[in-house]
């Protein structure tokens, strides 16, 4: 018995064994371990226990929120060093510099400038007296291909609407609470209110709703299943059935992506890199080992084009990198070079040619 226990630790120090239990071993390697397993029936239990210990030792990985800010700091340093080199000076020492907070401010101003296609102010909309629900009218904001809109609420909250999306809200406010209806994709930055000013903020989506206290999050209903990505704060997802009754609910944590679908029961969640899902608000699409079919879907929604991918193999190609969001031409050129195939935009249908 004691001898047997010792073997678990021994096995787990073996790289080949680990590759095998993680399913990453080559065929030859796996065959060796399978033969080893067959030679003694007692080893089955041993492998199971090793697997359990191995899997319980899972450290969680966090995506640090300051990545983009730190990357900007690096780029600024690289720029400065290049200039210094041109002037014949080389700065070797690296220390935390004073321009850092200033840079963050400049960055924020730039983001606003990029997104500020249209800026709306709410106050006028909600000052009229409360009216009966039956007569309240709705205003709808819409965006076209490649367009974004930024809406600013009187309390400082902002909603950024991505391309080919619409957001509906009542023209008269029925109380302190806010309710909006989203079709497409939007990024919400909701100001946190407490005490007498506390109010609820609800985003209605097909198949459910998102209930909010001060927070930032992204909602995307482009596909059949609506996706909500929480950046910070807390939101509660409520799934409704066709009769409008709550059938499931889930309180999201930052860095989580949840899906609500009209066709499926319940809410599913996974951990994601929230930055990738909100990079569009900064005029960029960021991909990291993203399958080409997901990239194609993204492009279809943003530019209102069709982008069929012939063949499974093509769909599973993974790509990494970042692209500006406002230029379909640049995007198609890049894809052309990467896949080494001709890419043509034929009246809104992206056609992939043969390999060159």
Contact residues toward another protein (CB under 8 A) are 5-6, 8-10, 12-13, 15, 24, 52-53, 55-64, 66-67, 70-71, 73-75, 77-78, 81, 94-96, 286-289, 316-324, 330, 333-335, 338-339
Q: In the complex with another protein, which residue's Cβ is closer, 10 or 38?
A: 10
The CA distance from 62 to 69, in Å, is 16
Q: In the complex with another protein, which residue's Cβ is closer, 211 or 276?
A: 276
331 close to 145: Cβ distance less than 8 angstroms: no
Minimum CB separation of residue 209 from another protein in Å reads: 26
Q: In the complex with another protein, which residue's Cβ is closer, 114 or 125?
A: 114
Minimum CB separation of residue 287 from another protein in Å reads: 7
Tokens linked to 96: 């935390």
Q: In the complex with another protein, which residue's Cβ is closer, 75 or 349?
A: 75
Look at residues 125, 75, 130 and name the one whose alpha carbon lies nearest to residue 103.
75
Minimum CB separation of residue 338 from another protein in Å reads: 5
Minimum CB separation of residue 271 from another protein in Å reads: 9
Indicate the SS3 state at residue 355.
strand
Minimum CB separation of residue 273 from another protein in Å reads: 9
DSSP letter for 281, please.
Answer: G
Q: In the complex with another protein, which residue's Cβ is closer, 66 or 294?
A: 66
Strand bridging mode 225-240 / 256-261? antiparallel
Q: In the complex with another protein, which residue's Cβ is closer, 190 or 286?
A: 286
DSSP letter for 306, please.
Answer: B
Minimum CB separation of residue 302 from another protein in Å reads: 16
Minimum CB separation of residue 137 from another protein in Å reads: 45
- CA torsion sign, 302 to 307 to 308 to 311? negative
The CA distance from 258 to 268, in Å, is 5
Q: In the complex with another protein, which residue's Cβ is closer, 191 or 328?
A: 328
Minimum CB separation of residue 221 from another protein in Å reads: 27
Q: In the complex with another protein, which residue's Cβ is closer, 180 or 285?
A: 285
The CA distance from 161 to 163, in Å, is 7
φ, ψ dihedrals at 259, nearest 5°: -120, 135
The CA distance from 194 to 199, in Å, is 8
Q: In the complex with another protein, which residue's Cβ is closer, 18 or 191?
A: 18
Strand bridging mode 256-261 / 246-252? unpaired
Minimum CB separation of residue 286 from another protein in Å reads: 7
Tokens linked to 152: 């600013």
- Which residues does 237 contact at the CB level (< 8 Å), separation at least 6? 208, 209, 210, 211, 228, 249, 250, 251, 252, 258, 260, 267
- Which residues does 274 contact at the CB level (< 8 Å), separation at least 6? 63, 218, 229, 230, 231, 254, 255, 257
The CA distance from 99 to 73, in Å, is 9
- Which residues does 198 contact at the CB level (< 8 Å), separation at least 6? 176
DSSP letter for 191, please.
Answer: P
For the chain, the farthest-separated pair of C-alpha atoms sits apart, in whole angstroms, at: 82
The CA distance from 153 to 121, in Å, is 6
Q: In the complex with another protein, which residue's Cβ is closer, 27 or 129?
A: 27
Minimum CB separation of residue 214 from another protein in Å reads: 23
């Amino acid at each position: 018995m004691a001898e047997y226990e010792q073997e678990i630790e021994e096995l787990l120090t073996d790289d080949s064994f680990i590759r095998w239990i993680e399913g990453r071993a080559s065929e030859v390697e796996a065959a060796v371990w399978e033969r080893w397993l067959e030679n003694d029936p007692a080893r089955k239990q041993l492998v199971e226990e090793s697997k359990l210990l191995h899997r319980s030792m899972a450290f969680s990985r966090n995506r640090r929120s300051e990545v983009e800010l730190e990357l900007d700091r690096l780029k600024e340093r690289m720029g400065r060093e290049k200039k210094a080199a041109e002037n014949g000076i080389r700065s070797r020492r690296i220390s935390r510099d004073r321009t850092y907070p200033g840079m963050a401010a400049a960055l924020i101003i730039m983001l606003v400038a990029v997104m500020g296609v249209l800026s709306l102010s709410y106050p006028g909309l909600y000052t009229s007296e409360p009216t009966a629900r039956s007569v309240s009218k709705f205003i709808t904001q819409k965006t076209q291909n490649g367009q974004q809109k930024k809406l600013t609420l009187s309390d400082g909250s902002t909603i950024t609407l991505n391309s080919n999306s619409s957001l509906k809200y009542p023209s008269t406010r029925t109380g302190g609470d806010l309710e909006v209806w989203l079709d497409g994709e939007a990024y919400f930055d909701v100001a946190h209110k407490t005490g007498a000013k506390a109010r609820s903020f609800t985003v209605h989506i097909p198949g459910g709703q998102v209930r909010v206290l001060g927070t930032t999050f992204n909602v995307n209903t482009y596909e059949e299943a609506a996706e909500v990505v929480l950046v910070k704060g807390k939101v509660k997802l409520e799934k409704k059935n066709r009769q409008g009754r709550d059938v499931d609910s889930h309180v999201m944590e930052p860095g989580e992506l949840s899906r609500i679908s009209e066709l499926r029961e319940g809410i599913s969640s996974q951990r994601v890199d929230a930055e990738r899902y909100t990079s569009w608000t900064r005029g960029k699409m960021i991909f990291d080992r993203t399958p080409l079919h997901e990239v194609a879907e993204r492009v279809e929604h943003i530019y209102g084009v069709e982008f069929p991918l012939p063949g499974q193999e093509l769909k599973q190609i993974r790509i990494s990198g970042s692209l500006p969001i406002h230029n379909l031409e640049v995007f198609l050129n890049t894809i052309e070079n990467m896949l080494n195939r001709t890419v043509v935009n034929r009246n809104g249908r992206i056609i992939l040619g043969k390999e060159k």
